[in-house]
DNA sequence: TCGAGGGACTAGCACGCGCAAGTAGATGAG
DNA sequence: CTCATCTACTTGCGCGTGCTAGTCCCTCGA
């Protein structure tokens, strides 16, 4: 019934206390659910109700100053455009962190390195790298800025890499369709060279295990004509099926093939990776590998949280479910 | 534990003062170059030197609490992948802001909208939208969170509106090809409803000026079958050409048309917007509108700064050059 | 009757900084 | 010599929270 008072000042915990005839401390204890305090249930409810009524929002800066923790997780991203799946991961992670009262902020360091790195001004509780390990210089800078935890932990050298199983699924799928001459199409973008190489090598391993010849290596640069060259190279090498680094590369190959008069999937099968929107947009729709991005995102969040609160990290990388989605861009070899 | 003790505490302005036998206020005045204070040159130099020596970094949270300003500029980005030029412009803006003591933080609101928006926890001084105007709900939320300035300014309804000329180019292009029955395909995504509506209305205006009937309104939701419905609706309305909100929508329409046995561009022309990578990936390659964002970065920074400090905005909007890139998805009406 | 032992709170400091209001000493005008 | 003015500082409050160290009252056992 009673409307929140109209005032340009922001609502503080002291306002709640005053309006309820309580002390600031009590209000703080209730709102933070501080352990070791005995507050009557009735008072708690009154505080919650009044906070709601007044539209109270804790002042982040004040809280950070008092507690020494910012409740910020800084995710350091590489300089290349985000894969669809990575974006979804981050969204999922952000949601999970938000629930725990943390904020996820993304940051791409500048190549020039002129500006102060964002962690110096934000002083996040946790810095999480999606680019590999932090450099010693970065680690020092973060420590000085008060970053209490980093992922991967610079003190622990053992690297638990994400087991890229997607390319394995791609190759197995193509093999099951009877394709023997397979190619793997890399993205030529140097900034993602590591991940590209990893996926390529996993594809090679998978082929080896299936006693297939090593995949022909193709390279596609989005934005120029290299996809046409790649298709030409593949065809002249007798390739009947291509596993692509991701859906964009796959789509580029499909487009180039069609332009060259090569029917997809009748003459050439192409399988993508990530199940990005583009996979179901293009014609023919792409067979691809779907990643359990939600699970991965939650894992990321759990990793950051454990680092923030000093728990031990989640036991294992969840066996995220990869699924090969069969659409129209792959067909049995004839 | 693991490290030899290096004075665990962070360096504060009080440390500098103590070490120099000065008061904290003096140090503060020097470091902030506070106007209206007379400090001897010698003292200034000693303060600067000592700050440097001790590696002093102002505590952002404390400063924000005391001054009421966070010196953060929050750039709200759309949910689609950023093209390279926009990325570089953001970097440029970030650099320029850094020089002025501000930090640029990017933020992409979550589709689910479940998490608290980042501005509530960061309380930036300025929120800058790259997605069109902020919704009234967002504006209210930001005001409540203490955001002092927004770009574009929600109070100035017509000012500094980015003149969306892209749709005009699309319609003019289609008209020049002889198409009369034109449709505009919106994205159904509610997150970008404002920008979608703006482009749609610009397309409508352009059609009107060319004495064409108002474009048929189509709505496409990436990820479901709505593109097929849209194509069906367009064809039954006698439409021969579609201007799409962006390249993804355009690609989805092209895919759906092909699947329905409608030849693109022979029976249906489609023109996209943004010149995103997908535009040159799909087959047929999309005619689209390329946005030249050169210089936009520094302009953005200047815009944010003027909003932050209450100056009048920079006079000159750089004349961003829009170009219609003609590819294979549009043909003259027969 | 008294004191111990809670339950339910409150008083108040610390966090690091910005900034308004003061103050001691030097200088110059009348 | 007095007083105003200026320089070069210092004192100290307040920003909104988190949290330690109480305080007050009520109940209960002896």
Q: Give the tens place of pLDDT for each residue, A242-277.
A: 999 999 999 999 999 998 999 999 999 999 998 888
Q: Is the CB of B25 under 7 A from strand C?
A: yes
Asked if A110 has any chain B CB less than 8 Å from its own CB, the reply is yes
Q: Which of A49-53, B2-6, B32-36, B125-129 has the lowest mean pLDDT?
A: B2-6
How many Å does it take to go from CA B40 to C1' D7? 9
- List residue ranges whose Cβ is under 7 angstroms from nucleic strand D: A 9-10, 12-14, 24-25, 28-29, 31-32, 34, 56-59, 62-63, 65-67; B 21-26, 29, 37-40, 42-43, 62, 65-66
If asked whether residues B114 and B94 sit together in one domain, one would say yes
Q: What is the pLDDT of residue B281?
A: 87
Task: Say how many CB pairs under 8 Å bridge A and B.
Answer: 130
How many Å does it take to go from CA A18 to C1' C1? 40
pLDDT in tens, B66-77: 999 999 999 998
DSSP 3-state helix, strand, coil percentages of chain A (rounded to 5)?
A: 45, 15, 45
Query: Which nucleotide is at minimal CA–C1' distance from A37?
Result: C8
What whole-number distance in Å separates Cα of residue A237 and Cα of residue A77? Answer: 37
If asked whether residues B171 and B261 sit together in one domain, one would say yes
If asked whether residues B170 and B288 sit together in one domain, one would say yes
CA A210 to chain B, closest CA, distance in angstroms equals 32
CA B251 to chain A, closest CA, distance in angstroms equals 6
In a domain, B316, yes or no: no
- The candidate with the shortest Cα–Cα distance to B87, out of A186, A84, A109, is A109
CA A162 to chain B, closest CA, distance in angstroms equals 24
In a domain, B207, yes or no: yes
Mean pLDDT of A83-108: 88
- The candidate with the shortest Cα–Cα distance to A75, out of B97, B125, B57, B105, is B105
CATH of the domain at B50: 1.10.260.40
Mean pLDDT of B102-117: 83
More confident position, B50 or B83: B50
Q: What is the pLDDT of residue A277?
A: 82
pLDDT in tens, A181-225: 999 999 998 767 877 898 999 999 999 999 999 999 999 998 788
Q: Which of A80-89, A142-151, A183-192 has the lowest mean pLDDT?
A: A80-89
3-class SS of residue B319: coil
Q: Is the CB of B18 under 7 A from strand C?
A: no
pLDDT at A5 > cutoff 50: no
pLDDT at B138 > cutoff 70: yes
More confident position, A24 or B1: A24
Q: What is the pLDDT of residue B4?
A: 32
If asked whether residues B190 and B123 sit together in one domain, one would say no
pLDDT at A291 > cutoff 70: yes
pLDDT at B9 > cutoff 80: no
pLDDT at A32 > cutoff 80: yes
In a domain, B318, yes or no: no
Query: Which nucleotide is at minimal CA–C1' distance from B17?
Result: D10
In a domain, A117, yes or no: no
pLDDT at A145 > cutoff 70: yes
Domain span at residue B37 reads 13-58
- The candidate with the shortest Cα–Cα distance to B71, out of B117, B93, B104, is B104
pLDDT at B253 > cutoff 60: yes
Least CB–CB distance from B277: residue in A55, A59, A222:
A222
In a domain, B327, yes or no: no
Mean pLDDT of B207-232: 94
pLDDT at B5 > cutoff 50: no
How many Å does it take to go from CA A26 to C1' C12? 13
Q: What are phi and psi of B40, to 5 degrees?
A: -65, 150
Q: Is the CB of B10 under 7 A from strand C?
A: yes
Q: What is the pLDDT of residue A80?
A: 65
Asked if A65 has any chain B CB less than 8 Å from its own CB, the reply is yes
In a domain, A98, yes or no: no
If asked whether residues B190 and B275 sit together in one domain, one would say yes
- The candidate with the shortest Cα–Cα distance to B252, out of B232, B274, B222, B273, is B222
In a domain, B265, yes or no: yes
If asked whether residues B24 and B107 sit together in one domain, one would say no
CATH of the domain at A270: 3.40.50.2300
If asked whether residues B108 and B24 sit together in one domain, one would say no
Chain A residue whose CA is closest to B106: A106
If asked whether residues B284 and B210 sit together in one domain, one would say yes
pLDDT at B29 > cutoff 50: yes
Strands A72-76, A103-107: pairing kind: parallel
pLDDT at B3 > cutoff 50: no
Q: What value, to the nearest 5°, has the Cα angle with vertex A254 and ends A249 and A257?
A: 125
If asked whether residues B171 and B281 sit together in one domain, one would say yes
| Cα separation of the two ends of chain A | 74
- Considering only residues 275 to 334 of chain A, which have any Cβ-Cβ distance to chain B shorter than 8 Å? 277-278, 280-283, 285
The owner of tokens 């206390």 is A17
- Indicate yes or no: CB of A114 within 8 angstroms of CB of B95: yes
**Tally of structural domains, chain A:** 2
Q: What is the pLDDT of residue A149?
A: 93
DSSP run (H or E) holding B194: helix B193-209
Q: What is the pLDDT of residue B189?
A: 80
pLDDT in tens, B167-176: 999 999 999 9
In a domain, B6, yes or no: no
pLDDT at B182 > cutoff 60: yes
If asked whether residues B174 and B262 sit together in one domain, one would say yes
If asked whether residues B131 and B217 sit together in one domain, one would say no
pLDDT in tens, A114-136: 678 999 999 999 999 886 778 88
Show the tokens assigned to A98: 């938000």
DSSP run (H or E) holding A290: strand A288-290
pLDDT at B316 > cutoff 70: no
- A 25-64, residues with C-beta < 7 Å of strand C: 25-26, 28-29, 37-40, 42-43, 62
8-state DSSP, A311: P
- Indicate yes or no: CB of A103 within 8 angstroms of CB of B121: yes
- Indicate yes or no: CB of A61 within 8 angstroms of CB of B59: no
């Amino acid at each position: 019934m009673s409307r929140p008072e109209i005032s340009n000042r922001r609502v503080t915990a002291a306002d709640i206390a005053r309006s309820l005839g309580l002390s600031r401390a009590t209000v703080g204890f209730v709102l933070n659910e501080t352990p070791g305090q005995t507050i009557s249930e009735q008072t708690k409810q009154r505080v919650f109700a009044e906070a709601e009524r007044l539209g109270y929002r804790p002042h982040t800066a004040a809280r950070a100053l008092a507690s020494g923790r910012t409740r910020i997780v800084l995710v350091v991203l590489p300089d290349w455009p985000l894969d669809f799946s990575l974006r979804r991961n981050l969204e999922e992670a952000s949601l999970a962190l938000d629930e725990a009262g943390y904020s996820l902020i993304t940051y791409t360091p500048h190549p020039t390195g002129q500006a102060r790195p964002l962690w110096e001004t934000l002083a996040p509780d946790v810095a999480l790298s999606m680019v590999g390990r932090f450099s010693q210089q970065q680690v020092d800078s973060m420590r000085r800025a008060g970053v209490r935890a980093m992922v991967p932990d610079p003190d622990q050298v053992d690297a638990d890499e994400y087991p890229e199983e997607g390319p394995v699924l791609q190759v197995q799928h193509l093999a099951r369709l009877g394709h023997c001459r397979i190619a793997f199409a890399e993205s030529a973008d140097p900034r993602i060279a590591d991940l590209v190489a990893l996926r390529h090598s996993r594809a090679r391993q998978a082929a080896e295990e299936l006693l297939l010849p090593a995949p022909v290596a193709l390279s596609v640069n989005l934005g120029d004509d290299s996809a046409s060259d790649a298709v030409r190279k593949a065809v002249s090498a007798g390739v009947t099926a291509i596993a692509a680094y991701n859906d964009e590369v796959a789509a580029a190959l499909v487009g180039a093939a069609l332009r060259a008069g090569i029917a997809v999937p009748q003459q050439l099968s192409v399988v993508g990776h990530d199940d990005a929107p583009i996979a179901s947009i293009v014609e023919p729709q792409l067979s691809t590998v779907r990643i359990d991005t939600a699970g991965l995102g939650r894992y990321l969040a759990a990793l950051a949280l454990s680092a923030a609160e000093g728990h031990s990290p989640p036991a294992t990388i969840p066996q995220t479910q990869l699924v090969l989605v069969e659409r129209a861009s792959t067909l049995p070899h004839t």
